[in-house]
A and B are shown apart, each in its own frame.
Chain A
């Protein structure tokens, strides 16, 4: 039996093609994945991301607990409403999950974790809490739904639907959030476009979804969510990283704070283990489409090496194939590698990502 979000009936009413996504019955597209992709880049689209889990942490020592739990430095959060992207590591430095943490008050932090890892995350946080912060209250919020409204016109369309929210949310900078009545509005997303992720009571989600639709926001499925995030150069847990890889070899060194005195789970392992691999962007020079798990053959200063595509696909904005790939360190942007596609070796150029941001091609 697949799990369903509060918007399941709404998706079916909009003739979504539904798929099993890690045990959740989710919309892949509502007709054309390409059209949905372009709607987000050029106007506004909305995604049901209620399968992701909001977890509220309450207690006097939440901040101290999070200092040890996650790889990024929670003390970067000084203003209530501010959000932080981080990895949660195991003692070997492997990535248990990537998540966003919102600082709401000194006794209340909010985590948003991936759907497929939610149970594992709760178990891990509960275990760590029992050892380091027994007074902490961990509350999974399956009573909430989450809708991501993304695109250059996304915020304006949200304000058209809930005009009163404009005053509260128009000054939000990226990675800031605000509570507005029952709605929790964050200027975050997974598309490389402006917009909001709005968390709201599950029983209000369908009505809000329909109002957004009436305001001209295009429903968009997991298919376009994936091509948008790939163009935006954002990692996908389970593909670009997992418990067998660490943030330093996953393009996420910028989210790891190794400078402060603070100790955190996995820090020692990160300091000790040499970094032999890196995550890079690839642009396919030959014709074809790069796909996950295709093998890469590298040549760098006369040394042959191997790598693998972690996320490959077709970029609708660039009209060519792009990928994130894990290859040996040292190979720099501008160099060429070869990707094994069926019986051929196709040439690809290593690039810095993101590939696309705010509707503009960056490569």
Chain B
């Protein structure tokens, strides 16, 4: 199972990349895309929307099921990846390059509450048992 060391993770299987400019990029993990299967539809939040932490803000739908995506941090949506909306299968091909949206965090203290790669791997192990 691929869990890149440089990323942060949420328990609801989003990955979070802390960018140099203080913004964050959000996507879903390899584990999440594997569980969902072939992606066929992605709905992303509007740029400019203010999100609360844990707010459901996007939907990814596979042939199998719809899955809500939760904001891992509170903040403003500053960009969305239109490419995954038109080609949802990009998420299956590489879920770590097929990002969903970028946030400008409102409260950087929330970052400390995210899992690191080690913590996320432990979560996956405990889910598997």
How many angstroms from the CA of A288 to the CA of B59 in the assembled complex? Answer: 10
| Interface membership of chain A positions 282-305, coded 1 if the CB is closer than 8 angstroms to chain B and 0 otherwise | 000001110100000000000000
Cβ contact within 8 Å between B43 and A288: yes
> Which residues of A243-297 have CB atoms within 8 Å of chain B's CB atoms?
287-289, 291
How many angstroms from the CA of A69 to the CA of B41 in the assembled complex? Answer: 45
For the side of the interface on A, what is the size category? 10 to 19
How many angstroms from the CA of A313 to the CA of B64 in the assembled complex? Answer: 8
Q: A33-B37, A33-B38 are in contact. Are A314 and B61 (CB under 8 A)?
A: yes
Q: From A35, which residue of chain B is reached at the shortest CB distance?
A: B38
How many angstroms from the CA of A142 to the CA of B38 in the assembled complex? Answer: 34
How many angstroms from the CA of A81 to the CA of B82 in the assembled complex? Answer: 55
Q: From B68, which residue of chain A is reached at the shortest CB distance?
A: A342
Majority secondary structure, A binding face:
mixed
The distance from the CB of A80 to the nearest CB of chain B, in whole angstroms, is 40
Judge if A238 is at the interface, Cβ distance under 8 Å: no
Which B residues touch A313, using CB under 8 A?
63
Which B residues touch A354, using CB under 8 A?
none
Which A residues touch B63, using CB under 8 A?
33-34, 223, 227, 313-314, 316
How many angstroms from the CA of A227 to the CA of B59 in the assembled complex? Answer: 21
Selected contact of A223 from candidates B41, B64, B92, CB within 8 Å: B64
How many angstroms from the CA of A33 to the CA of B65 in the assembled complex? Answer: 13
For the side of the interface on B, what is the size category? 10 to 19
| Residue from B40, B41, B61, B65 with most neighbouring chain A CB atoms (10 Å) | B40
Cβ contact within 8 Å between A288 and B61: yes
Judge if B124 is at the interface, Cβ distance under 8 Å: no
Q: A33-B63, A33-B64, A34-B63 are in contact. Are A289 and B40 (CB under 8 A)?
A: yes
Total inter-chain residue pairs, C-beta < 8 Å: 36
Which B residues touch A342, using CB under 8 A?
59
The distance from the CB of B34 to the nearest CB of chain A, in whole angstroms, is 9
Judge if B47 is at the interface, Cβ distance under 8 Å: no
How many angstroms from the CA of A142 to the CA of B66 in the assembled complex? Answer: 36
Cβ contact within 8 Å between A287 and B41: yes
Judge if A32 is at the interface, Cβ distance under 8 Å: yes
Cβ contact within 8 Å between A314 and B66: no
Which A residues touch B92, using CB under 8 A?
32
> Which residues of A16-40 have CB atoms within 8 Å of chain B's CB atoms?
17, 28-29, 32-34
How many angstroms from the CA of A28 to the CA of B64 in the assembled complex? Answer: 10
Cβ contact within 8 Å between A289 and B61: yes
How many angstroms from the CA of A268 to the CA of B92 in the assembled complex? Answer: 53
| Interface membership of chain A positions 307-330, coded 1 if the CB is closer than 8 angstroms to chain B and 0 otherwise | 000000110100001000000000
Q: From B92, which residue of chain A is reached at the shortest CB distance?
A: A32
> Which residues of A307-363 have CB atoms within 8 Å of chain B's CB atoms?
313-314, 316, 321, 342
A-B contact pairs, 9 of them (CB 8 A): A28-B37, A32-B37, A32-B38, A34-B38, A223-B63, A287-B43, A288-B41, A291-B65, A316-B63
**A residues whose Cβ falls under 8 Å from a Cβ of B:** 17, 28-29, 32-34, 223, 227, 287-289, 291, 313-314, 316, 321, 342
Given contacts A223-B37, A314-B61, A314-B63, list 14 more A-B pairs with CB under 8 A. Answer: A17-B37, A32-B37, A33-B38, A33-B64, A287-B43, A288-B41, A288-B43, A289-B40, A289-B41, A289-B61, A289-B66, A291-B66, A314-B40, A316-B63
Q: 6 nearest interchain CB pairs?
A: A314-B40, A34-B38, A289-B61, A33-B63, A289-B41, A33-B38
